[in-house]
Amino acid sequence: MKINCDSFILLLQENPGSRLPDNYQEHLEACRSCRDLLKAHDHNIEELKKRVAISETTKNNVLSKLQKEIAREKALSQDIGNQSFWARLNIFRLQVAFPLLVLVIVAGLFLVEDSGGSVQLTGPATVLKNSQKVVLEETGVKLDFGERISLLTGQLHLTWKNNEAVLIDGRLDFAVHKRNLTVGEGQATLDFMPSTAGYVVATRRATFTILGTTIVLDLSDSSDSIAVLKGKVAWALNDKSRAGEATAGTRIILKNGQVLEETFSTDAANMDGGVQIKKTGGVWTPKNSE
């Protein structure tokens, strides 16, 4: 095979390192341009290898931090799991009469407030609407404000008339209002588009008004928590006894009628634009971007 400058660069293209077959040596001896290229190639790759190498000390430090993070995560999951058990028992005792009464009153209020408005729903998703199973594709249907709907499977894209939107992925019973979303039972990921600042997420214990871009909700049967990663939220207990604002790096926990405020590092946040939460079992966690 005749070796020339073109075949030499193709060799470098294929070779992971700089070990070259013998038949290239003759060309290299004769060609200064390729000699210079090889020299620059080897020098840059060696330099790059040094710069992107991780030291054993760094590796061990990162592993240690990681193991602590995993232990915290496990402890938190266990704690929430235990709390959920007792909370479920309490809820079972209380039955459904009182929540139903509250739901009827709230729904009535929203129906009055929301008369005339609607959002556009598009799929791909299967929903239960007016007790009928509906398969949604790109061509959407209208959902009136206050009308309850159940997402059974797929991804449901809700778009308000002002083009603000939320993507719901999973199973969820909910109702949409002019600038509110009331959620019931289910497991779903909710992605609020960045422009939906000012929207209100109503839980059983409080309302959270989105003023910034990125929050993580962690809702269990016994407590609500909201961690603000970017921007801020305004919060208010449903009985209006307390209210405030939480800025980035703050977590508000509502538990047993108490309001706890914690700070945390936002370094680990990898949220991109909107509110991203996911419920798995009884645990709400940030949505995994993978």
Residue 290 as a binder of another protein (CB under 8 A): the answer is yes
Q: Find how far residue 39's CA is from the centre of its chain.
A: 47
Angle 32-51/23-30 helices, nearest 10 degrees? 110
Residue 75 as a binder of another protein (CB under 8 A): the answer is no
Closest approach, Cβ 74 to another protein, in A, equals 9
Residue 116 as a binder of another protein (CB under 8 A): the answer is no
Quick one: 10 or 243, whose CB is closer to another protein?
10
Of 23, 25, 67, 90, the residue at the interface with another protein (CB under 8 A) is 67
Binding mask 181-220 for another protein (x = CB under 8 A): -------------x--------------------------
- What is the residue type of 196? T
Tell me the Cα Rg of the chain.
Answer: 28
The H-or-E segment that residue 198 falls in is none
Bridge partner list, 252:
226, 261
Of 29, 65, 88, 161, the residue at the interface with another protein (CB under 8 A) is 65
Closest approach, Cβ 46 to another protein, in A, equals 9
Of 1, 19, 33, 138, the residue at the interface with another protein (CB under 8 A) is 33
Between β-strands 165-176 and 180-192, what pairing exists: parallel, antiparallel or unpaired?
antiparallel
Residue 263 as a binder of another protein (CB under 8 A): the answer is no
Bridge partner list, 158:
121, 166
Of 28, 31, 37, 283, the residue at the interface with another protein (CB under 8 A) is 37
Rounded Cα distance between 218 and 276, Å, is 11
Place of tokens 């929301």: 114
Closest approach, Cβ 47 to another protein, in A, equals 5
Quick one: 154 or 194, whose CB is closer to another protein?
194
Residue 76 as a binder of another protein (CB under 8 A): the answer is no
Q: Pull the structure tokens for residue 96.
A: 């459904």
Using alpha carbons, list the distances in angstroms from residue 222 to 38, 94, 143.
66, 14, 31
Residue 7 as a binder of another protein (CB under 8 A): the answer is no
Residue 72 as a binder of another protein (CB under 8 A): the answer is no
Residue 36 as a binder of another protein (CB under 8 A): the answer is yes
Rounded Cα distance between 124 and 205, Å, is 32
The H-or-E segment that residue 8 falls in is helix 5-14
The H-or-E segment that residue 172 falls in is strand 165-176
Positions touching another protein (CB under 8 A) are 9-10, 12-14, 16-17, 33, 36-37, 40-41, 44-45, 47-49, 51-54, 58-59, 61-63, 65-67, 69-70, 73, 194, 267-268, 270, 272-273, 288-290
